[in-house]
Structure 1
């Protein structure tokens, strides 16, 4: 199944591979490679879980009230179909790129802790699946071979886990601490558009700019990771 713009050609998906952040940073390094998918996925599974604690049960036998502990990282699983038809090579090189995402980069081994590359599924205007992630598992099944044993076709199941997530950060309107989310900037994004999607109010772009130290809202390059702060009025049901 191909994602299509009205009246346009299908947009091909790609798994973009980035250098990991330096130190304890949360922004990936430059793009180091990408695996362009010959065939777009026909199914992608995305999940997210929340942790709740019910250990403090009352003595009267009633069910304990759930206490929110925290949100687990988003996960995603997709199948990548690779075929050497029309190319002069097999599919091993692309499979090796995927397998390599499970190991620390050579450059990061000189620092502590060492880190594997970060990745992102890039597919047109898709947002739910366009989060920065770590590859947790790759299972490759070779289904066709050349006369010399060279693999010519493969199906790879790739499991991803969100690299970022909610972290404590100062609330710009209340001055208190609160959880935040993040947003990966893609081509065509604007701070006003992100604010409308997040808060339902495009005028909130100023809070996003302030939380990220952005002086020029027109210059937010694709690939940037924006912190989306909690706004006190929003939590209070719009009171203020």
Structure 2
């Protein structure tokens, strides 16, 4: 089996613009992150963190583009026209177009980066290119490209992959060491302030006066 080459597939109104990578990247980076808000609860030394939402996965990588063809001595040129260097900016412009709105799509195009087991579909959010080699006429023939993508996964896809347990029915939970009512409220309802509803349902006057092993009833919303 030959060496698998990476490629970029840029969405078009009709078809796909495929850019084959001459040199595979030496590495790539995938980044996942999440958004939290801070909630201050009286009696606690520090704030509680409430999960708000996850961020789209980011893919960062560097590519090396080269369209330089060394000149051949006249004595070595046989029949036909020998290959010549071409302007590498013709390739970088195709990639740069993925960062702006496509008039036919009315949005930036989707871009898929394929290489081995990686099949990343997203949009290009950052594109830097540096030209590193030129011909005598000033035509760029080599470039280093830095790309950042954000994945395109719908909220429904993420829910199917990691569904939340429904808060619309009554449940019971056992309090564990280091877990308070606000922690349970944040996990079950997505809002630590809902601890008051849990406390009221269970006749708890002081939210700090709970013990590990205690079973509490979680009312349905």
TM-score range relative to shorter protein: 0.5 to 0.7
Q: Spell out, residue by residue over 1:116-168, the C-alpha distance to the aligned partner (whole angstroms, 9 max, x if none).
A: 11101111222xxx22111111111000001111101000101111122433x
Structure 1's consecutive aligned runs of 4 or more residues displaced over 6 angstroms after TM superposition are none
- 1:18 maps to which residue? 11
Structure 2 unaligned regions, length at least 5: 70-82, 166-221
The DSSP-based 3-state class of the residue aligned with 2:153 is coil
Native 8 Å contact 2:114 2:120 kept in 1: no
Higher relative contact order (CA 8 A, sep 6+): 2
Distance 1:31 1:60 in 2: 61
Count residues in correspondence.
151
Shift of 1:31: 4.0
Mapping 1:18-57, distance limit 5 Å: 18-19=11-12, 31-54=15-38, 56-57=39-40
Aligned partner of 1:156 in structure 2 is 145
RMSD: 2.2
**Which blocks of at least 5 consecutive residues in structure 1 are unaligned?**
1-7, 20-28, 109-113, 170-177, 182-228, 233-240
What is the TM-score with the length of structure 2 in the denominator?
Answer: 0.62
8 A Cα contact 2:127 2:146, kept in partner: yes
Output aligned runs, 1:88-237, within 5 Å: 88=84, 89-108=86-105, 114-126=106-118, 130-167=119-156, 179-181=159-161, 230=163
Distance in 2, Cα, partners of 1:158 & 1:124: 18
Are 1:75 and 2:58 counterparts? Answer: yes
**Cross-structure match for 2:41:** 58
